[in-house]
Structures are given as structure tokens and as C-alpha cells.
Copies of this chain bind each other. A is one copy, B any other.
Amino acid sequence: MYNIGVDLGGTNIAAGVVDETGQILLKSSISTRPERDYHEIIHDMAVLIYGLIDEGGYKLADIASIGIGCPGAVDKKRGKVIFASNLFWYHVPIQALLQDYLNLPVYLENDATVAGSAEYLFGACQGTENAITLTLGTGVGSGMILNGQLYSGSHGAGAHLGHMIVELDGIPCACGNKGCWEQYVSATALVREGQKAVKESPESLIANLAGHDFRKVTAKMVLDAAKEKDPAAVMIFERYIRYLAMGMITIINAFDPEVIAIGGGVSHAGDFLLQPLCEEVEKHIIYKDVAHARICLAQLGNDAGIIGAAMLGRINR
């Protein structure tokens, strides 16, 4: 028996057939085009799933369940996406609608939570009881395993560490609050600060890499310029590391996990990110002679979403 995992994003819907060892045997994806009616999107999701089953030569009876990693707030008991801003979805009964096409158990969970689950089962957080996976991308996602179980709170709105408030009256966030952590440590934050540098320091390497067009700045450009010791980029990067460490310390003090795994676009910087981060965190550990969380890179990349979603059928009661 296999499980199918679906990673439902604002840009693409990716799905894969996953075996019990977490291997993706076959995967495929389509554009989400979220401006459409959600009935159309869920129809296309069913077509995508049937396509995988056909292409792999499976029978429907070979598939034990479908799991979906959804953005936003999820009511997993009632099978609904409560609210997902990047899909323009609001109380969408995705479980029932998908089951109209496919007579299989369908499980829902937050997308960052399933990515954390995948890292726990098959990636960087294996063998731990308490682990947090952070995704530093457009926003900051988080998936938590606590006491050996997936944790996503009481109302499907939890485990959003990107929305810890790290500065009273700080930088405005799309969520409506100010000073959310993701405004300081997402890839988007690096882009925003890089854009400022292009405008304010036209001599900077960032401006050069972006062809002096602030709209072309990427997080990678800022990181690459920092590697080259470009002063403007180094300033941005040092501030970035301070805020990243500040949140890590809060996570360590609040959760005391064994591992904090970092994924998402920014994590591609690898040791260039990890080394100063770990040094900065180390300075702020309260109990210096007690072991504390190991900070490392996530291992499954973008596949974590599909794998974790597929596994919902195996770990759900």
C-alpha cells in the first residue's frame, strides 16, 4: 500500500506517490492558478492524483490515503481549509469535495507542519522527541514535533512561529500585526533590505548583482554579496543573523527541543548561514552546561511537503 501526498501551494500543486519508507516513487505538479473558483482547483487536484495512479500503473486499491498539506488555518477534524490568504480560500470543505472524486480517506494538515513531520520521520529530526523545522522562505513556516507527536494547536491556527512578535510596533506584517519574526528573518526580509541598499548604496555589490534595478534583488544576491564582504550586504546579513538568533533563543527557551532544522530558500546558504547563527545563539544560552538544541539544515528540501502530507494517513488515528 502507498500513500499519496499533496503539497497545495499558491503557485503550484505538487503530488507524489510515497512508500512506507518515505520514498517518493512518482511525482507530478500543476499550476494552482488560485484566481479560479476552488471547485475547479480541487477538480484539477483529483485529475493530478488520478494521473499519478495511471502513470505508475497502480490501482486505486493500492493507495491507502491522500494527505494534503494546506497553507493557512486548517480545521482537520471537519476537513476544511478555514482561511488561506494566498489561495483566497475561506471555509473550503476540501476533504468532502476531493472525496467526491476519490473514495479514499483524505487527511489535512498545515503545510509547514507536514514538512516538519517529514523531517522528523525521514530527515534532519529523526530519532528525536521534540523537534522544530523552520522554513525560511517567502514567509517563515514552522512544523513542530513535541513529545513525539505532531503539534498544530487547538484550532488549526497554531505553530506559526513566523508570527512570534519580536518588536513592539515593529515592521508591519501581512497578518495585520507589527513586528512579526518573519518580517526580520524570511527571504522576503532579505529582499526588502537588499532593495533599500540598491537605492541607498548604489556602489554596493548588491546593486551590481541586481543590475542597479531594485526590483531584481533576490535573497541569494544579498547573501552572495555578504559572502564577498560587501559592506552593505554584511550589515544586512549581520542584522539578519541577530534577529534569527533572537527567535532561536526564544524557541529554545520556550520549547527546549533536541533539534531545530532550517529549510527554505535561505537555508541554501548552508554553513555561511549556520556558522554565525550557531555562534550567536551560543552566546545567549541560559544554562551553559546543559545540553541544548542542535541547529542544523533540513534534509528533504521541497519534497518534505509531499512526504509529510502522504504520511498523515500513517500517523493519524
| A residues whose Cβ falls under 8 Å from a Cβ of B | 73, 82-83, 128-130, 146-147, 149, 151-161, 163-168, 175-177, 179, 242-243, 246-247, 249-250, 252-258, 284, 286-287, 289-293
Contact A157:B292 (CB < 8 A) given known A166-B166, A253-B164: yes
A151 partner residues in chain B, CB cutoff 8 A:
146-147
Which of A156, A166, A250 has the most chain B CB atoms inside 10 A of its CB? A250
Q: A242, B168: Cβ atoms under 8 Å?
A: yes
A290 partner residues in chain B, CB cutoff 8 A:
73, 82-83, 155-157
A286 to chain B, nearest CB (A): 5
Q: B254, A165: Cβ atoms under 8 Å?
A: no
Pick the contact of A287 from B157, B258, B284 — CB < 8 Å?
B157
Q: For the complex, give the distance between the alpha carbons of A149 and B167 in Å.
A: 31
Pick the contact of A154 from B160, B257, B284 — CB < 8 Å?
B257
Query: Of all chain B residues, which has the CB nearest A169?
Result: B242
Pick the contact of A163 from B168, B179, B257, B286 — CB < 8 Å?
B286
Extra A-B contacts (12), CB below 8 Å, given A146-B151, A163-B286, A164-B254: A83-B287, A153-B257, A154-B258, A155-B290, A155-B291, A158-B255, A159-B255, A160-B253, A165-B250, A168-B242, A177-B286, A179-B246
Q: B175, A286: Cβ atoms under 8 Å?
A: yes
A152 partner residues in chain B, CB cutoff 8 A:
256
Q: B287, A73: Cβ atoms under 8 Å?
A: yes
Q: B284, A176: Cβ atoms under 8 Å?
A: yes
22 contacts between A and B (CB under 8 A): A73-B287, A83-B289, A83-B290, A146-B147, A147-B147, A147-B151, A153-B256, A153-B257, A155-B258, A155-B291, A156-B256, A157-B253, A157-B256, A157-B290, A164-B253, A165-B246, A165-B247, A165-B249, A167-B167, A167-B168, A168-B242, A175-B286
A242 partner residues in chain B, CB cutoff 8 A:
168
A164 partner residues in chain B, CB cutoff 8 A:
164, 250, 253-254
Q: B157, A129: Cβ atoms under 8 Å?
A: no
Q: For the complex, give the distance between the alpha carbons of A284 and B147 in Å.
A: 29
A77 to chain B, nearest CB (A): 12
A149 partner residues in chain B, CB cutoff 8 A:
147
A167 partner residues in chain B, CB cutoff 8 A:
167-168
A21 to chain B, nearest CB (A): 26
A161 partner residues in chain B, CB cutoff 8 A:
253-254
A258 to chain B, nearest CB (A): 4
Chain A to chain B: the 9 pairs with minimum beta-carbon distance, closest first: A158-B256, A153-B256, A163-B253, A164-B250, A154-B258, A160-B253, A175-B286, A130-B154, A157-B287
A177 partner residues in chain B, CB cutoff 8 A:
249, 284, 286
A173 to chain B, nearest CB (A): 9
